[in-house]
Each structure stands twice: as structure tokens, then as C-alpha cells.
Amino acid sequence: AAKPVTVTLTGAGGQIGYALLFRIASGQLLGPDVPIRLRMLEIPSGAAAAAGTALELQDCAFPLLHSVDVTTDLAEAFDGTNVALLVGSRPRGPGMERGDLLQANGTIFGPQGAAINEGAADDVRVVVVGNPANTNALIAAAHAPDVPSDRFTALTRLDHNRALGLLAAHLELPVGQLSGVTIWGNHSATQYPDVFHAQANGTPITDLVDEAWLQNEFIPRVAKRGAEIIAVRGGSSVASAANATIDHMRQWVGGTGSGRDGSDRDGVDWTSAAVVSDGSYGVPAGLVSSFPVRSVNGCWEIVQGLAIEEFSRVRIDASVAELIEERDAVRALGLIRD
């Protein structure tokens, strides 16, 4: 039998946690043959909700679920972790200044990065979902000097999937016929959803949509979809965020060719993830920025050689400028060093 894989989820008592845990335990994250040892990290105010969810997990009698632990202790949570899903964070509250937000998250993601550095398995892979996700990943990576920085990522797969969904609806085509969409930059309203390399059944998307639609409809709607969901649903994205988290980690581990839906979309396409920049596409090295990526042998690589037109360049640069500002702000707060 396969050795259990240790999956640590922070914010396990929250909404996204509730939408994620049952999918993880049923085998949708790592496949139908991999036993899961679950570690659920919470802060004291969320521990009861996490404990209740743990009871429900037991009541599902998932054959793959090797064990479940609920803890408020960082060292316990990350001991031997192979897969870390960092969902719990301090989102921006009413009237909260950006400095306060970054400070609050620095005190969460700094110690979590240090605990990963101390105790996680050698093959640890980390995805940050909690906002501001890119900069939280930057902070965590900075506190884990012994872990290769390419193991720290932030989630932009939800934005990628939103772009696919909106494009498919507009073109009245199944999502599976679309490929080559990219999210660039920050997981925020400055992100740039790029369809200049995208295709529908081999036809360039730019032959199928006009620039006015891209500029006035598509780009702002993808970038502000989170706010649209809040306005319509009366609450933030939960199941779609959990779904994207599963997609991100499943393909990181299993490769971008391992589409679980049986379509070949994942085989011919790339996806989007925020990874530590190596300077590709003029994004300063060290920033955690979203790129077109493929996963090969369990490692992300940035898709190289895409031509970037002026239309895209200014939008990528604007989002990267925001990432630079966030990085400089957390440096000034002493949350990371140069």
C-alpha cells in the first residue's frame, strides 16, 4: 500500500476549509490510491468548527483517510508535511489600512514559513490561498531559508478558471475547447487575464472577440469577479476557491497533463499559478507573481517564449508594480529582509 501523504490545511474551520476537506479526503487532491494524513490548523476561535468538521470527516468513512488531527500548534501542524494549503489569513476588514493588513498577515505567514522550514518533509509543496496571497507567500518563503523557494506558490488558478468560464460563456463553447489563457501578476483587481495566446479549437481567441469586449468587459469582469460573487451571492467565493486549490495542487503534483475530467485540455494547455519569479518576462526576480506555468515531474516551470504585445505589457507591468509596492511595504515593516 502507498505511504500516507501528510496534508496540512490552515484555516480548517473556515468556509473554504469546509469546501476543501471532503474533497481532499475523498481522493480528489492526490488521486484514488494515496492515503491522506490530515492536519487541520486553526486559531483558538476556529478550533471548535474544525473539530466539528473532523467529526463529519470520520462520519464519511473515507477509505483513504488515514488520520485527522486538529491542532492550534504550528510545530504539530507542519511536522512532516508534504502538502501545505495555507488558507487561514487575516482578510482586509472595514477601514483597515494596507499596512495593518500586511502586518497582521506577516505575523501569520512568517511563523508558518518558519514552522515549515523546521518540520516539513523534504518534498513539501506550499500554496497560499489566504489574501493577500502573493505577498503572504513571499513572507512565508522568506522565513523558510532551507526550503527551495520554488516550493512556495500562491493561488491564481481561481482567476484562471474564472477567465475560462467567462470566455466559454461568451463564445458559447464548452470550456474544454479553450486553451492558452494566462493570468499575470497579483491575485487582486490589478491582475491581467491574457487571451492573446489563447485558442478555441485552434482558432486564436483574438479572431473571435473584439478588443473593446476584452478591454471593457472581459478583463475587468475577471479581475473583479470576487466582488461580483460577493454582491450576487452575499458572501465570498468558497466552493470555487476550494476547487481551484484542488486544481492547483493536483496538477503541481501530478503534472499539467493529468486532467481528472478525462478531457485533453490539461494536456495541451498551460495553467496559471503565482510562483517565485526568476526574472522571466521582465518580472523582477524574487516576486511571487502569476505566470503561465506547466508542471513537469512535480515542478512548476514558467512557459517561455510568449510574445508580449504593448496591450499586455502595460497591464502586466501595472500589476507587477503593485507586487513591488507590497514587497517594499513588508520590507519596511521588517517582515522580510532584502
Instruction: Decide if residue 38 touches ligand NAI (CB under 6 A).
Output: no
Choice between 110 and 180, CB closer to ligand NAI: 110
H or E stretch including 85? strand 83-86
Q: How far is the CB of 240 from ligand NAI (least distance, A)?
A: 8
Binds ligand NAI (CB under 6 A): choice among 2, 43, 96, 314: 43
Instruction: Decide if residue 15 touches ligand NAI (CB under 6 A).
Output: yes
- The answer to whether residue 170 is catalytic is no
CA distances 209 to 164, 205, 222, 316, Å, are: 14, 6, 15, 21
- Rounded CA gap, 189 and 152, in Å? 22
Sign of the CA dihedral with 282 first, then 288, 291, and 294 last: positive
CA distances 83 to 8, 24, 50, 93, 191, Å, are: 6, 11, 18, 29, 26
What residues between 259 and 298 interact with ligand NAI by CB under 6 A?
none
User: Is 285:279 a contact under the CB 8 Å cutoff?
Assistant: yes
Q: How far is the CB of 129 from ligand NAI (least distance, A)?
A: 5
List the catalytic residue out of 66, 160, 170, 187.
187
Choice between 21 and 302, CB closer to ligand NAI: 21
69: its cell numbers:
488531527
Instruction: Decide if residue 13 touches ligand NAI (CB under 6 A).
Output: yes
Choice between 15 and 28, CB closer to ligand NAI: 15
Binds ligand NAI (CB under 6 A): choice among 10, 53, 271, 277: 10
38: its cell numbers:
490530515
Q: How far is the CB of 219 from ligand NAI (least distance, A)?
A: 17
Instruction: Decide if residue 113 touches ligand NAI (CB under 6 A).
Output: no
Strands of 203-204's sheet, edge to edge? 178-179, 199-200, 203-204
What residues between 128 and 187 interact with ligand NAI by CB under 6 A?
129-131, 133, 155, 158, 187
Binds ligand NAI (CB under 6 A): choice among 104, 166, 168, 238: 238
Judged by DSSP in three states, 268 sits in: helix
Q: How many angstroms from the chain centroid is the CA of residue 9?
A: 13
Q: How far is the CB of 217 from ligand NAI (least distance, A)?
A: 21
Q: Compute and round to an integer the Cα radius of gyration of the chain.
A: 19
At residue 28, φ and ψ (nearest 5 deg) are: -75, -15
Instruction: Decide if residue 57 touches ligand NAI (CB under 6 A).
Output: no
Burial (CB < 10 A; 0-12, 13-18, 19+), residue 144, is: buried
Q: How many angstroms from the chain centroid is the CA of residue 5?
A: 20
Is omega for the bond preceding 284 within 30 degrees of 0, making it cis? no
- Rounded CA gap, 201 and 205, in Å? 10
Choice between 229 and 306, CB closer to ligand NAI: 229
Binds ligand NAI (CB under 6 A): choice among 28, 236, 263, 280: 236
In this structure, which amino acid lies at residue 93? G
Q: Report the residue number whose CB is nearest to ligand NAI.
A: 14
Choice between 107 and 216, CB closer to ligand NAI: 107
What residues between 187 and 206 interact with ligand NAI by CB under 6 A?
187
In this structure, which amino acid lies at residue 185? G
Choice between 41 and 330, CB closer to ligand NAI: 41
Choice between 133 and 198, CB closer to ligand NAI: 133
Give the x-and-dash track for 77-96 against ligand NAI (CB under 6 A).
Answer: ----------xxx-x-----
Q: What residues are labeled active site?
A: 187
List residues near ligand NAI by CB under 6 A. 10-11, 13-17, 41-43, 45-46, 87-89, 91, 108, 129-131, 133, 155, 158, 187, 236-238, 241
